[in-house]
């Protein structure tokens, strides 16, 4: 017994000397305390707004980001906090590898969490870095995107209620989300029969919050506007170039050559079909397929005439898949012939993959092209796997069709690689940089999907989850460029879902599309000003235009959302690796601790043009006392494009 007591005492004496395996408590730096609305689920599954407290401390360090939530959030916030730190450093021109960021999140109940507080965290990190005070009468909801724009979120009406309950004067929401759609259920009893009707109605959050609570709601486009409303300070913002022209003429010769070759191929296979000895039913089936390919070629010619060369190439690609399917079907007479065809396709894919892998990625333009090529190689391999499955199950028609797609997909990988080589310049991009960026995008995309599922259930099926899993597989296989752009696509699809949730009104959707279209054009213009030809972004933009025209022609909201998705692909792709730091923002002189006043824009003013209020105080928080932080480091492809 005495021996046990001695051992216990020895352990207790040694405990102060032990080094805990956790984040070190910050002993210097700046701390900012902010509040943000979040959503939680009630016992009946309904969403309700709650207020969360963010204690954000930035200290000299080595680039770590630590976040603690209490109670634990349903969706992890680590990836969002990491992105907020990156964006804060980028807009200030600060190297964040020289700082550690500590974020404590407190709420009275378990919140859903996720990316919706990304904008708030970014503002807090910027304020802590600069020593600025934030206005306690301002709250915000919104994701932070890598380019500094504020992304869409859910539960805005519930969050507005939470902001009102907290007594704030100004509530910031993502641009384009002032109109929310809610479902109203009405019950009527007629002759003893209860009739239940559900109707979707639009709610103008700005008017609703003003009339009900006197709460001002303002839409913000990016972190620059958000920082102004919280601190009264304006950060230097990149200026979008004027009169940007989206031009795919660099693809003109490729489109003309591809159209001619595909048309020649079509005519040759049509002749072979007519001279074949297949039976009537088979002949009619194959003829219908070739007629469909002919229609696609007619569309391609129309797009060439309009100067939409990428879209024309995509139509040629679709036509060639059909033509090759018919061609190969006519050439195969036995299962052994099909087997040989699949083996030859496998060799074609391997050759294309080796060609892509042997490239040195020089410059951002080539990175985009090689990423597109890697995605197409992996797509080809996946379809060939499906072809083998069909072969072994005895479905030779399907096996040939999937092999035809795989073959043509591998050929487009070579086209994209050659495009990249055509525009290659500068020093090779380090593989570790692409790998780290891909990891961030995968984590962010996974976070958005988890957030959507926590808010709305399994409304998306497996489409986004499958895309993220595909990105993760590319990452595990060392295909970091493909992983990066595949995860980016998943992120965009999640954002489009949140931004268009329950909206069927054509005018509202068109307003959103025009906003995204303008952002995409500006991003491409900025890239071109920096001497970069963002070929993939330009191609996405043109493809979006073709869907926009289809949407207008057919009044199709599905085509409109597809156009939005490709415009956002264009924006994200053009911005990648271009968000270089601006000139560092000068440090604020110490001694002024005035809290900035709320400045609400009028019909003729905006954050970019209205003047700062008289009390736009500049504060230096000085040293903050020690506090303990526990670190929780937790870890629709649309259309057939070329």
Q: What is the pLDDT of residues 431-449, one digit of tens each?
A: 898 999 899 899 888 888 8
pLDDT category of residue 270 using cuts at 50, 70 and 90:
very high
Rg (CA), the chain: 28
pLDDT tens column, 510-529? 999 999 999 999 999 999 98
pLDDT of 4: 43
Q: Active-site residues: which are they?
A: 116, 159
pLDDT category of residue 582 using cuts at 50, 70 and 90:
very low
CATH 3.30.230.10 domain range(s) in the chain: 30-181+208-231
pLDDT of 191: 65
Q: Can you give the pTM of this predicted structure?
A: 0.77
CATH code, 30-181+208-231: 3.30.230.10
pLDDT of 75: 62
> Can you tell me the mean pLDDT for 607-632?
32
pLDDT category of residue 40 using cuts at 50, 70 and 90:
confident
Length of the chain: 642
pLDDT of 450: 82
pLDDT tens column, 328-386? 999 999 999 999 999 999 999 999 999 999 998 998 899 989 999 999 999 999 999 99
Sheet with 65-70: strands ordered across: 30-41, 47-60, 99-106, 65-70
Q: What percent of the chain has pLDDT over 70?
A: 82
pLDDT of 583: 42
pLDDT tens column, 115-166? 889 999 999 999 999 999 999 999 999 999 888 999 999 899 999 999 999 9
> Which one has a higher pLDDT value, 637 or 322?
322
Cα separation, 383 vs 380, whole angstroms:
5
pLDDT at 72 over 80: no
How many Å from the N-terminal Cα to the C-terminal Cα in the chain?
Answer: 78
pLDDT category of residue 18 using cuts at 50, 70 and 90:
very low
pLDDT tens column, 219-266? 999 999 999 999 999 998 877 788 888 989 999 999 999 999 999 999
Cα separation, 238 vs 517, whole angstroms:
18
pLDDT at 12 over 50: no
Nearest to 377 by CA among 293, 477, 252: 477
pLDDT of 15: 36
pLDDT at 316 over 90: yes
27-41, 145-159, 472-486: which has the minimum mean pLDDT?
27-41
Q: Which residues share a beta bridge with 179?
A: 204
pLDDT of 27: 54
pLDDT at 621 over 90: no
Q: Record the tokens describing residue 205, joined without a space.
A: 């959050």
C-alpha angle with apex 488: 83 to 632, nearest 5 degrees?
A: 35
pLDDT at 605 over 90: no
Q: What share of the chain is helix, strand, coil (3-state, %, to 5)?
A: 55, 15, 30
Count of C-beta atoms within a 10 Å radius of residue 569? 26
> Can you tell me the mean pLDDT for 190-208?
80
pLDDT of 588: 44
3-state secondary structure of 276: coil
> Which one has a higher pLDDT value, 381 or 588?
381
pLDDT of 340: 97
pLDDT at 63 over 70: yes
C-alpha angle with apex 523: 519 to 526, nearest 5 degrees?
A: 140
Residue 279: asked if its preceding bond is cis (omega within 30°), the reply is no
Nearest to 118 by CA among 71, 90, 74, 85: 85
pLDDT category of residue 108 using cuts at 50, 70 and 90:
confident
> Can you tell me the mean pLDDT for 42-58?
86
The mean pLDDT of the chain is 84
pLDDT category of residue 598 using cuts at 50, 70 and 90:
low
pLDDT at 428 over 70: yes
pLDDT at 613 over 80: no
pLDDT of 198: 74
pLDDT of 628: 25
């Amino acid at each position: 017994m005495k021996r046990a007591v001695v051992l216990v005492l020895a352990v207790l004496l040694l405990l102060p000397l032990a080094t805990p395996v956790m984040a070190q408590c910050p002993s210097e730096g700046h701390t900012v305390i902010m509040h943000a609305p979040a959503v939680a689920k009630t016992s009946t599954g309904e969403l309700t707004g709650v207020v969360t407290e963010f204690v954000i401390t930035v200290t000299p360090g080595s680039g770590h980001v630590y976040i603690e939530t209490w109670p634990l959030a349903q969706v992890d916030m680590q990836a969002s906090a990491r992105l907020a730190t990156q964006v804060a450093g980028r807009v200030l021109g600060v190297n964040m590898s020289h700082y550690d960021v500590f974020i404590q999140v407190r709420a009275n109940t378990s919140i859903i969490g996720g990316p919706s507080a990304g904008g708030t965290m970014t503002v807090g990190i910027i304020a802590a870095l600069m020593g600025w005070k934030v206005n306690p009468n301002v709250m915000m909801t919104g994701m932070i995107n890598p380019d500094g724009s504020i992304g869409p979120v859910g539960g805005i009406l519930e969050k507005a209620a939470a902001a009102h309950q907290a007594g704030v004067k100004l509530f910031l929401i993502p641009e384009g989300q002032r109109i929310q759609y809610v479902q109203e259920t009405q019950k009527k009893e007629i002759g003893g029969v209860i009739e239940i009707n559900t109707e979707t109605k639009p709610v103008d959050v700005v008017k609703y919050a003003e009339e009900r609570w006197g709460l001002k709601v303002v839409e913000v486009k990016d972190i620059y506007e958000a920082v102004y409303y919280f601190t009264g300070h304006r950060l230097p913002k990149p200026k979008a170039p004027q009169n940007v022209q989206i031009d795919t003429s660099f693809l003109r010769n490729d489109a003309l050559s591809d159209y001619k070759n595909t048309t020649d191929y079509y005519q040759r296979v049509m002749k072979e079909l007519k001279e074949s000895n297949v039976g009537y039913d088979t002949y009619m089936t194959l003829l219908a397929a070739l007629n469909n390919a002919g229609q696609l070629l007619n569309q391609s010619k129309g797009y060439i005439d309009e100067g939409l060369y990428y879209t024309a190439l995509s139509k040629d690609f679709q036509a060639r898949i059909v033509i090759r399917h018919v061609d190969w079907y006519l050439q195969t007479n036995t299962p052994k012939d099909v087997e040989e065809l699949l083996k030859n396709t496998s060799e074609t894919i391997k050759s294309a993959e080796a060609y892509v892998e042997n490239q040195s990625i020089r410059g951002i333009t080539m990175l985009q092209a090689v990423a597109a090529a890697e995605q197409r190689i992996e797509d080809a391999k996946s379809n060939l796997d499906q072809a083998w499955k069909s072969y072994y199950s005895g479905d030779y028609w399907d096996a040939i069709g999937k092999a035809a797609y795989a073959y043509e997909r591998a050929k487009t990988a070579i086209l994209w690689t050659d495009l990249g080589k055509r525009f290659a310049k500068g020093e090779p991009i380090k593989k570790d940089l692409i790998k780290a960026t891909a990891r961030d995008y995968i984590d962010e995309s996974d976070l958005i999907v988890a957030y959507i599922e926590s808010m709305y259930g399994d409304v998306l099926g497996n489409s986004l989850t499958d895309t993220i899993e595909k990105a993760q597989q590319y990452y595990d296989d060392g295909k970091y460029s493909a992983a990066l752009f595949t995860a980016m696509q998943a992120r965009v699809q999640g954002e489009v879902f949140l931004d268009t949730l329950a909206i069927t009104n054509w005018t509202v959707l068109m307003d959103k599309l025009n906003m995204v279209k303008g952002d995409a054009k500006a991003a491409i213009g900025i890239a071109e000003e920096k001497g970069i030809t963002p070929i993939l972004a330009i191609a996405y933009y043109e493809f979006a235009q073709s869907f926009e025209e289809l949407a207008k022609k057919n009044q199709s909201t599905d085509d409109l959302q597809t156009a939005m998705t490709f415009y956002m692909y264009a924006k994200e792709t053009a911005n990648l690796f271009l968000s270089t730091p601006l000139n560092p923002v000068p440090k604020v002189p110490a001694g002024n601790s005035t809290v900035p006043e709320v400045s609400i824009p009028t019909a003729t003013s905006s954050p970019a043009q209205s003047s700062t209020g008289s009390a736009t105080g500049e504060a230096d928080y000085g040293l903050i006392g020690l506090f303990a932080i526990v670190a929780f480091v937790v870890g629709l492809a649309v259309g057939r494009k070329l």
